[in-house]
Every structure is written in C-alpha cells, then in structure tokens.
Amino acid sequence: MFYIEGRKVRVLTGQPGKADKAKTQTVRICTRDNQIGQYDYVYRLNSPHFTSEEELKSQNFQTIEALGTYLKEKYHAKEEIYDGDIKKDVPPTGPLVTGMASPSSWEEKVAKVVEETIDQFICEFLEFPYLHRREQSIHCELYKLLVERRLLSGHYPMGKWFSQLIHKEWPEFSPRSGKSQRGTIDLCIISPERLKNCSMEEFIEGKIAPAIAIEIGLDDKWKHLRNDLNKLSDSSVSFGYVIHLVRHNVSDDFDTVEKLILEGATKVKTAYGRLTGDKAFYKLTNDKEIKIR
C-alpha cells in the first residue's frame, strides 16, 4: 500500500472465491477517510497486463488523475464505480474525463482560487460597473484576473507544444439534452494533466473536459440566467460557476432572478451583482443569501 494525495492506494490481484482470480487485478484509491473497503476510484486491469505497488510507487505520481491516465494508457485499465461488491463501468463520457467520483486535489485548490477571484470580480463590478460596455469585454476582465493568479499562469506541455490553462469559448464536452450540437463555455480551466495527455485533434476540436467552467451574463434577463444554470448543471465539469451581473435601469423579474441564483447554487456555485438606485444587491460564491449594501 502507498499514498497519493494523502489517500491509500491498494493493488489487489484476483477475486477471492472466483475461478478467474488470476485473470483480474484492481488498483483502488480510498476515499478521504482512508477506510479500507471504501473507494472513490477503481481501475481494473486484465491478465497479462498486471502492475504492482512497487512499480506504481516508483512513478512518483503527484495526482490521482496522473495515476489513472497512466493505468489507462499503459495497461488499458477500465475505470469503474465502486459500490460495495458491485462494480460498474464509468459511463463513457470521453477519453480524457477522469475523476468521476470526486474532484482531484488540484481541482479543489484551483476552485478556491477561482472563487476568491470571482468574489473580487463581483466587488469590483459593484464599484465600477461601467468599466466595460459589453459582456465580451467583461469576460476579458475576469480572464485577466484569473491569469494573474500564480496557480493559473504559465505555459504547460501539450505533446511537443505548449498551451495555457484558461480558455475562452471552449466547446461543451457533449451536447446538452435536446441539443444536436455542442455549445460553448464563456471561460474554462483545463487541468495540466489533461493537456499533457491530449492529442492535437482533441485540443483543436475542444474535446477535453474542463475541470472548471464559468458562465457570465451582463444585463441579461432571467431566462438567460436559467439557461446558464442548466448548461453547467448538465456538464461534466467538477466545478461550475454562473455569474449574473445587472447594471442600473435594467428591468426584469428580480424575484425570479434571485430565486434562481439561490436555488441554482445547489448544483453549481453562483455569484450575483445588481445595481439599482443607491443600492447594490450581491451574492459572493459561498454566500447563502442575497446581501444588500
């Protein structure tokens, strides 16, 4: 047994009590409680493509996602959902979607940075709502704030090329229910591991599932907000954020807007800023209610 991201990793060969015990092997990563028998990730290998704890430990993986990618590429392992003694294949959502059970530690660290940045973004909008005329320019402002963060800056290897982590107008990983084509996401963050292991075709066509997705609305009506919430609720991202900004003299059903902002936060996180008269209504990413100042 060894550890990755503070979690126990076990390599088990064979299924006790079954005739095919020599034909199968699993690599199991415990939940955060590190209780044997409770696993967030299970990778199944078939004979003769077996590995060992010593071999995996020698690779010095820094993330669970890196381990999963290695097992899939070298050993053709299948990722499974662990439910007691019942094993189910992870639904086929694409070659680079990993960590279906829970986010990686890298994603969790980045999510905190993103939330801090969005909160800063909301506060600056309330103070200077007309720095930008149109929504596209607002997107660029948030992009600038994100790329200034150390964890999100720099260039990362992608085969023989390099790319960055933050991208604008990234295609949805798969079409939403009722849609024949993929839409796009305003801003998204791709993990370094997924960039490193993607093909040029997957990158150019946007066939990499983002770790984090952000949708932004400026002076839009409540139906646009509802669509943004539905888009990210149906996506395969680990962390989704919907930001809704409203400036002076915009009319809408704001009871419905604020209900959507609060109820939508159960599936994705929401942030909100609205100016009217001498008041500002707002919600930061982890607020549980709409505040007034």
Q: Residue ranges per domain, the chain?
A: 2-89, 105-292
What is the DSSP-derived secondary structure letter of residue 91? P
Long-range contacts of 223-228 (CB under 8 A, 24+ apart): 225/257, 225/260, 225/261, 225/264, 226/260
Task: Show pLDDT as tens, one digit a residue, over the chain (293 residues).
Answer: 898 888 899 999 875 444 445 578 899 998 877 878 778 788 888 878 799 999 999 999 888 888 988 998 898 888 876 544 434 444 443 333 333 336 788 899 999 999 999 999 999 999 999 999 999 999 999 999 999 998 999 999 998 899 999 999 999 876 666 666 788 999 999 999 889 888 999 999 998 989 999 999 999 999 999 999 999 987 778 899 999 999 999 999 999 999 999 998 878 999 999 999 999 999 999 999 999 99
| Tokens (6 digits) for 100 | 């279906």
Name which of 190, 233, 241 is nearest 215 in CA terms.
241
Q: How far is CA 174 from CA 72, 165, 185, 198, 227, in A?
A: 21, 20, 12, 17, 16
CA pair distance 210, 167, nearest whole angstrom? 9
The packing angle between helices 222-233 and 254-264, to 10°, is 10
Q: Tell which residue, 142, 202, 140, has the closest CA to residue 173.
A: 202
CA distances from 12 to 49, 52, 71, 100 (A): 13, 9, 14, 21
* Helix extents (H) in 152-221: 192-197, 200-204
Look at residues 246, 285, 240 and name the one whose alpha carbon lies nearest to residue 125. 246
Encoding tokens for residue 118? Answer: 């969005």
Place of tokens 């999963």: 68
Is residue 159 within 8 Å of residue 195, measured between CB atoms?
no
Q: What is the CA radius of gyration of the chain?
A: 22
- Residues ≥6 apart with Cβ < 8 Å to 35: none
Listed residue (63, 58, 59) closest to 29, CA to CA: 63
Strand, helix or coil for residue 169? strand
**Looking at the chain, how many residues does it have?**
293
